[in-house]
Amino acid sequence: MAVTGCSQCIKYMLFFLNFIFWLAGGVILGVALWLRHDSQTSSLLMLQFEGNQAPGTFHISVYVLIAIGAVMMFVGFLGCYGAIQESQCLLGTFFTCLVILFACEVAAGIWGFINRDTISTELINFYDAAYIKALDPVDTPSRQAASKVLEVFHDTLECCGKGDDNQLFTAVQSSLCPKKTIPADPLISQSCHTKLRDLFTEKLHVIGLAALVIAVIMVRMNTNMHNYRLVLGITKVSLKNVCVCDFSLLCV
């Protein structure tokens, strides 16, 4: 039985919001893929030193974001189709998926808050290990590998050293640090520790903003989904009631 009046208004508004939800999933997926293939983070997180890979905690969070974006697109399509078909089964499935997604996002947000400094700290420790090895006075293959790792860090972040560098590092600084274009100060001297913290703080702000947008949309979708299922259930059993549809999508 086709819905009419207020119910029809809610139906098409719900379809529109589901379409926005689907688009948001696409945006989240796009942002996650950009974070995964960003030249700065990719070049640093693909480094290896003495058989150890650079810490991949950042990639784990990005993969979670990719999964959320893909699931959001699927759930958004399910909601659009369920709204047009007026299917309580599909809409019920959609509502359940929204609740699960919201719970997962809350859990991911708590994990991210607890581990917000872990990513930069792990990579700083990886940098420090290569830094110490690069200062080894004995020229070994391990030292050469460490020097190459430092060069990638320095060229990618345009930094040099830890900020409290000793005389040993100063002696090899010219071969490891990128050059400035200003003759008066030919070597870039900003601390790589600071640069690493700034880099991943910026990336995490992007992830946090994306998560906030998802949360707001989900709360609104859950409210409208509940209202529409109630109205649809009343319509199916042919109960007559008078509805006034306003912009808040509530029937009074």
| Residue given tokens 């909601």 in the structure block | 79
Binned at pLDDT 50, 70 and 90, residue 226 comes out as low
**Res 169: pLDDT:** 63
Question: Which segment of 2-6, 103-107, 174-178 scores lowest on mean pLDDT?
Answer: 2-6
- Is pLDDT of 240 > 60? no
Mean pLDDT of 58-78: 84
| Residue given tokens 């693909």 in the structure block | 46
**Does 241 or 62 have the greater pLDDT score?**
62
Ranges 24-28, 171-175, 205-209, most confident: 24-28
**Res 245: pLDDT:** 39
The answer to whether the Cα torsion of 147, 150, 156, 159 is positive or negative is negative
* CA–CA separation, 72 and 20 (whole Å): 11
In the chain, the percentage of residues whose pLDDT exceeds 90 is 0
Whole-model pTM? 0.67
> What pLDDT, in 10s, does the model give residues 139-198?
788 888 888 888 888 888 888 877 765 555 666 666 677 665 555 454 556 788 888 888
Ranges 92-96, 114-118, 246-250, most confident: 92-96
**Res 1: pLDDT:** 45
**Res 249: pLDDT:** 39
**Res 252: pLDDT:** 37
Structure tokens at 113: 């808050």
> What pLDDT, in 10s, does the model give residues 80-99?
888 788 777 877 787 788 88
Report in angstroms the alpha-carbon separations of 139 from 106, 131, 146, 167, 177.
Answer: 50, 14, 11, 18, 19
